[in-house]
Structure 1
Amino acid sequence: MNDNEIAVEGITPFEAKPGKTGLYLPIGSHTNYIDACQGVYYPGGPRLISKTGNSVAVENIWLRMDGAYGLVTINGVPQGERMVATYNVGEMMPTLMTPHGGGIGPTYWPFRFTPYFAQVFNDTAGANLVQPGEVFANLDAVGKFAP
């Protein structure tokens, strides 16, 4: 991302981490929820902006059994809900109960580009930078429980 001058921004409540090395999202009963039919919902999302000014945003993200879905916007034009990432829950399971960040949770849950989102990303960047199936994000979650 840095080598190709692609800026990463957070769409509230997502926030860019210091140095824009990733995104942070406070999760919990006030910011996301679980729906038995739809999956786990996260408001907000990432926005990627290339040095040419092209942008792609994904927001109102749903984690479902087969992958991550979100409302995609390309250069300000809504594209509707699209599958943007796939994942394998089995890859996350070995780290599911890892103590870190003042709580417990998975430290490794890789999300991979779908063919659709790899193409959108490459079009936004103006170069063929990624391939479908490549890891583009890792979900590192910390569960904290209040008495």
Structure 2
Amino acid sequence: MAYSGGIDYISPLFGGVDWEDLQSPWSSNLGAFDDGLRTVGREDNVELIGDARSYISPDTSDGQGEIILDCPGGCQPSVTKAVAIGIPKGEAPLKYRMHYLLIIAESAARDRDGSRIYERVGAGLLPERFISGEGVRVKIQ
């Protein structure tokens, strides 16, 4: 189940976030159109490409972070990954700063090459210490 629309429950401070390196449909290296008005790339797919990492769900009662799924209750996938989209600027060590996240899950769909496609199933905020090391590059639709 893909989500459309804004992420209402995460409000990054304008100018206060170091954004992560995601490739978007508007990136020239993905074949986006020069006029910037179309969101369809060469393969007629609107997708982000980012690094998916495993994460540990925090104890939200003590303010250590929050994961909000788009479909609370019984319909969420059992295996999800996190894609960091930004980190608030600040003096605190990186491992303690909150990371703005897309929460994704593998979909049944495959791209033309047979590679896995992921879809957004939520969003969240977690300190880096709850997110595992190296990520795997994935396509998110």
Tell me if TM exceeds 0.5: no
Say which structure is richer in strand: 1
Say which structure is richer in helix: 1
Q: Which has the higher contact order (CA 8 A, sep 6+)?
A: 2
